[in-house]
Structure 1
Amino acid sequence: MKCLPAITLWELWKARCGAKYGKDNYNTRKTINNISTSLVLILKGQFEKIKVDLDWESVRYLLISNISDKRIVQVKWLKPSNNFVKINSDGNCKDGYCGGGGVIRDHRGHLIFAYSLNLGHGTNNWAEAKTLLYGVEWCVRNEHDYILVESDSKVLVDCVNDINSIPWRIYDEVRELKAHMETTGFILSHCYREANKVADHMTFLSYDNPNNMAYDVFVELPTRVKGLMNMDRWKMTNFRTMKKKRNDLIWEPP
């Protein structure tokens, strides 16, 4: 797009000079073809794998095309089986200050325990790990041995499940989570943010309150949290917009 005005002016100048001082007759179609050919040569010089013909329609199609497609997926919070409790955990940092929140529910989707933590200064990954560890340790202390855990932090989930190496900032927390995984029925999986709304809202409550908060009675929860929990229990559907690379455009640099 940046090269198009310069190439257009150059080809028009060449055509004008060829018609005025040379023996060439001005030909609009030839000028357009020269512009598209120059654009394609520039593209292929930078992106060798790109698929585009030399004609102007192919160039125009490429210019107006989106690199990625969008698709909508349905996301729901799923209840655990009868023998399990389920933790949804989240952590976040705002202006360098970290907070965390989580909720523990039974197989019917009813509240067992919810918490909001003030964690001080740190990073997002550290806040995620610290908050998740708090929820797992609470379950262990209260003799909930079969635990399903969901987090929307793909980094943390992959570290605990030995898919990725552990960043040094969360090394201690991940090692403790691994130890609990060996002694309990602790299963950790990734979920989309749309299925983690209760924990996400509990996290942001920490920025409005200097003290840690804990709830074990549903009616004492903030109104917004109660509404989100009811929506999860009723299996209300959330929608997530996801970007997907198009198959007909190969645009990666070599």
Structure 2
Amino acid sequence: MKCIPAITLWELWKTRCGAKYGKDNYNTWKTINNISTSLVLILKGHFEKIKVDPNWESVCYLLISNIPHKKIVQVKWLKPSNSFVKINSDGSCKDGYCGGGGVIRDHRGHLIFAYSLNLGHGTNNWAEAKALLYGIEWCVRNEYDYILAESDSKVLVDCVNDISSIPSEVRKLKAHMETTDFILSHCYREANKVADHLASLSYDNPNNMSYDVFAELPTRVKGLMNMDKWEMTNFRTMKKKRNDLIWEPP
């Protein structure tokens, strides 16, 4: 796109000079073809995988097309403030059976309580809601009133925060928001690995499991929790689409 004005002016100048001082006749289509050919040569030199014919229609189509590219963002679990505890929950379904898991931590990233639930038959969104509700109700029973919750389910977060319609499974969550200082926000899966692994453990155990001592946690969960406590960065690859083609010369 940056080259188009310069190439267009250059080809017009050559055509004008050829017609005025040389023996060439002015030919609009020849000039357009020269512009297109020059652009395609630049494109193939810097974007080898792009396939485009050396004609103006192909160049125009390429410039208005959505060209996918990958964006890498840094993601990490963040500790809550001193007054809050933080819940990370997750739910999943496998072959019709649902499991849920979650972890509750203090402002230093230390374990308060963790759980893995066998939820039986249901849907994925239902499992997400049940896993979060279990953690919220545990906090209420144990008098933790300042609760910061995170879920990687955008559907659940939007439902509880009234951005979309509210299914029956999350009405109790909304009731807790009205009686406690309960805040729910969305997080990427890379910042929710502890809850995700606890949810997956439910498929191997028919009984619910709970932990309040760090040493009793499964080895992988302990490793993931330590990575969160040390605020180690994860990387998330996101596919984006752009409406322009950017070429930066070296």
Counterpart-to-counterpart distance in 2, 1:62 and 1:187 = 44
User: Which of 177, 181, 193 pairs up with 2:177?
Assistant: 181
Q: Does the residue aligned with 1:243 lie in a helix, a strand or coil? A: strand
Gaps of 5+ in 1: 1-28, 37-52, 250-254
Q: Does the residue aligned with 1:109 lie in a helix, a strand or coil? A: coil
Task: Describe the superposition over 1:92-118 as per-residue Cα deviations: whole angstroms up to 9, x where unpaired.
Answer: 000010000000000000000000000
Q: Is residue 203 of structure 2 the alignment partner of residue 207 of structure 1?
A: yes
2:158 corresponding residue in structure 1: 158
1:55 corresponding residue in structure 2: 56
Matched to 1:239, the amino acid is F
Count of aligned residue pairs for this structure pair = 196
Identical aligned residues as a percent: 84
Matched to 1:165, the amino acid is S
Q: Is residue 186 of structure 2 the alignment partner of residue 190 of structure 1?
A: yes
2:72 corresponding residue in structure 1: 72
Q: What is the Cα deviation at residue 216 of structure 1?
A: 0.2
Aligned-CA RMSD value = 2.3
2:212 corresponding residue in structure 1: 216
Q: Does the residue aligned with 1:80 lie in a helix, a strand or coil? A: coil
Matched to 1:195, the amino acid is A
Q: What is the Cα deviation at residue 67 of structure 1?
A: 3.1
Counterpart-to-counterpart distance in 2, 1:165 and 1:197 = 28
Counterpart-to-counterpart distance in 1, 2:55 and 2:90 = 51
Task: Describe the superposition over 1:142-164 as per-residue Cα deviations: whole angstroms up to 9, x where unpaired.
Answer: 00000000000000000000000
Q: What is the Cα deviation at residue 227 of structure 1?
A: 0.2
Q: Contact 2:117 / 2:207 at 8 angstroms: preserved in 1?
A: yes
Counterpart-to-counterpart distance in 2, 1:59 and 1:211 = 61
Q: Is residue 232 of structure 2 the alignment partner of residue 231 of structure 1?
A: no
* Regions of 4+ moved over 3 Å: 59-63
Change (3 A) 1:156 1:76: same
Counterpart-to-counterpart distance in 1, 2:189 and 2:110 = 20
Q: What is the Cα deviation at residue 59 of structure 1?
A: 6.5
Gaps of 5+ in 2: 1-28, 37-53, 246-250
1:22 corresponding residue in structure 2: none
The normalised TM-score by structure 2 is 0.74
Counterpart-to-counterpart distance in 2, 1:165 and 1:69 = 33
Q: Contact 2:63 / 2:244 at 8 angstroms: preserved in 1?
A: no
Counterpart-to-counterpart distance in 2, 1:80 and 1:159 = 23
Q: What is the Cα deviation at residue 60 of structure 1?
A: 8.3
1:248 corresponding residue in structure 2: 244
